[in-house]
Chain A
């Protein structure tokens, strides 16, 4: 059930959230969107949803970014589904940036092998790996974003990384340490 309105974080709190997480959410979207336009749309939509659902903002600061990433993930999926979306706020956001300051996710093929290997992972595993590797979340935080249990997340992360190593032909020198890695978030 929603909390009473009086419990909602105030504007200042949301503003602080916006300022402290903006670049992270933008980066998250840019790394996953098909184009900067889509990323801008997703960022605008993410904070729109976050504002509407501000009563649900996690109390624990460590859970705020995962919560936002979870919203952004859904927004990106919606944008991908609905195809021809072009939101006004997304366009305004794009216009507000100085030309050249926003990287195009479609550019930069140097890392194509890694991206290709990640593409071979199931969607949830790919998202899990990238949340940890790119967004700097701990496995427990990634669990929040993905709606998984921390224990299940650690197991999935371990397996996904193992698959990535195999796909990238990375020699496993110390197999045993993989298991230790799975525990490093405890």
Chain B
């Protein structure tokens, strides 16, 4: 039984709903098909309508890793973006990869004295690993109509902190470099430092001012903020600080091998310091809570040094002329052709997270009815399946490889590759994936 006041409230609430669910269209089958094909989204997932399943699924895995962190490269509430019209590109886009080229003399001087990347020249690799190529690679020559394989250089993040802050988990990412929807997505390097009880800080380095919003975006309203200028590294930086309207919460940092779901980690305040380095690169430090002070973000900013550090996930073998083009959250990376970058031919490697339920190779959700082969990858068990590439409706069209294999420490590698690679080449490359957290 309800009273008049409840009836009135119910009526007004119902009106405020704006529309009835019954009047909405059904969700389209295309979304269902792509989700079930493992070609899922996440915060990135690509922004082209024609990406093949191999690319999309790789993006998903990267997105999964990104989701685990749940502290994406955030802007303050005051800079929250509202999209209009054409979807814009996330500056921390996960799966949007950049063509990797060897460092050259082009562009302003960047990290480590090498050529700094530009939006069209996003160099990120360092020279080949000093330890030389791994042994027992197997044949590298190209099969008829196929691709030759070659060793790759060590993938590194071009910056470090000196000193490294104690007690915080470091997560390294790089993304950007392609032009989508007419907007050249800048290459962005992002390092996140957090602890289970400390939202920590993020610093990002990019060739463009990160405060300049991409086309199609506008600033929204959000937290109350204050702006000022402070000195950082001998130059003036713009400081924006404030309190969130409500706590921002996400997962605390995690490792792929942990079984327990990460706890929630919340922040109530922030400070964002942005400045341009003498070499033209832009740096932004974003601290929260204990790191949301001018002193803290300046301290972080002044500790950034141009000292490359290897990323945890490495692939030491790839098709000749391919390189690692993006990596995210320490646990995923993408390879792409240097000479013919495209969305159609990529290799994706990710470390699956045990706390999400990935405890052993299991491709039953991906096989699409195709036979799953039990394989051995670097001495450890795995599963491999060849499935139609989702980009083509032709059942005889392109195919892709999906592999899951055990890694040391009980982790599971998820690996995807275009069908142009042979069965054995897929196993060869997968065997050269290493994860060193």
Interface residue B135 (Cβ < 8 Å from any Cβ of A): no
**A171→B214 CA distance, assembly (Å):** 49
What separation, in Å, do the CA atoms of A41 and B41 have in the docked complex? 9
Assembled-state Cα–Cα distance A24/B19 (Å): 11
Complex: A85 Cα to B44 Cα, angstroms = 7
- Complex CA gap A82/B92 in Å reads 9
Q: How far is the CA of A152 from the CA of B8 in the complex (A)?
A: 24
Q: Is B28 an interface residue (CB 8 A)?
A: yes
Q: How far is the CB of A117 from chain B (nearest CB, A)?
A: 9
The B171-228 residues at the A interface (CB cut-off 8 A) are: 213-214, 217, 220
Contact with B217, one of A84, A103, A173, A175 (Cβ below 8 angstroms): A84
Number of interface residues of B (CB under 8 A): 80
State whether A27 touches B21 (Cβ < 8 A): yes
Residue among A77, A98, A184 making CB contact with B25, cutoff 8 Å: A98
- The closest CB in chain A to the CB of B47 belongs to A88
The B interface is mostly helix, strand or loop, or mixed, namely loop
Do B357 and A2 touch (CB < 8 A)? yes
A186 interface residue (CB < 8 Å to B):
no
A57 at the interface (CB under 8 A from B): no
Question: Would A82 and B40 be within 8 Å (CB), given that A170-B5, A173-B4 are in contact?
Answer: no
Residue pair A111, B16 in contact (C-beta under 8 Å)? yes
Residues of A within 8 A of B74 (CB): 81-83
Is A60 in the interface zone, CB < 8 Å from B? no
Please, how many angstroms separate the alpha-carbon atoms of A102 and B27 in the complex? Answer: 11
Q: Is B3 in contact with A174, judged by CB distance below 8 angstroms?
A: yes
Chain A positions 79-121 with a Cβ under 8 Å from a chain B Cβ: 79-93, 95-98, 101-103, 105, 108, 110-111, 114-115, 118
Instruction: Say which residue of A84, A88, A134, A175 sits within 8 Å of B81 (CB atoms).
Output: A84
Q: Which of B29-37, B274-282, B414-422 binds A? A: B29-37
Count A-side interface residues using an 8 Å CB cutoff. Answer: 82
B27 engages A26 (CB within 8 Å): yes
Q: Which residues of B contact A11 (CB under 8 A)?
A: 36
Contact of A27 among B4, B19, B217 (CB under 8 A): B19
Question: Is A47 touching B30 in the complex (CB atoms < 8 A)?
Answer: no
Let me know if B83 and A37 touch, CB within 8 A: yes
CB pair B87 A161 closer than 8 Å:
no
With A5-B362, A45-B41, A78-B67 as contacts: A133 and B17 at CB distance below 8 Å: yes
Residues of chain B from 14 to 64 with CB closer than 8 A to chain A in the complex: 14-22, 24-28, 30-32, 34-36, 40-49, 51, 56, 59-60, 64
Evaluate contact between B42 and A92: CB separation under 8 angstroms: no
Q: Which residues of A contact B44 (CB under 8 A)?
A: 85, 87-88
B87 touches A37 (CB 8 A): yes
A110 to B21, CA, bound (A): 19
* Contact between B28 and A177, CB atoms less than 8 A apart: no
Q: Which residues of chain A have C-beta atoms less than 8 A from B88's C-beta?
A: 84, 86
Could you say which of A2, A168, A173 contacts B12, with CB atoms under 8 Å apart? A168
Task: Assess whether A84 is in contact with B3, with CB atoms less than 8 Å apart.
Answer: no
Q: Which of A44, A48, A96, A110 has the largest number of chain B CB atoms within 10 A? A: A48
B9 touches A85 (CB 8 A): no
Q: A51-B40, A91-B87 are in contact. Are A177 and B32 (CB under 8 A)?
A: no
Chain A residues with Cβ below 8 Å from B325 are: none
Contacts known (A111-B16, A114-B15, A177-B6); A89 close to B25, Cβ less than 8 A: no
Known A86-B47, A134-B14; 20 more pairs at CB < 8 Å = A5-B365, A23-B26, A43-B27, A43-B31, A53-B357, A55-B357, A78-B67, A81-B248, A81-B250, A82-B72, A84-B89, A85-B43, A86-B83, A87-B87, A96-B30, A103-B19, A108-B18, A110-B15, A164-B13, A173-B5
Point out residues on B near A: beta carbons under 8 Å.
Answer: 1-6, 8-10, 12-22, 24-28, 30-32, 34-36, 40-49, 51, 56, 59-60, 64, 67, 70-75, 79-84, 87-92, 213-214, 217, 220, 246, 248-250, 259, 356-357, 359, 362, 364-365
A-B contact pairs, 21 of them (CB 8 A): A2-B359, A11-B36, A14-B36, A22-B27, A26-B27, A30-B18, A31-B17, A34-B82, A35-B82, A41-B41, A45-B41, A48-B60, A84-B217, A86-B89, A87-B45, A93-B28, A96-B28, A98-B25, A101-B24, A172-B3, A178-B6
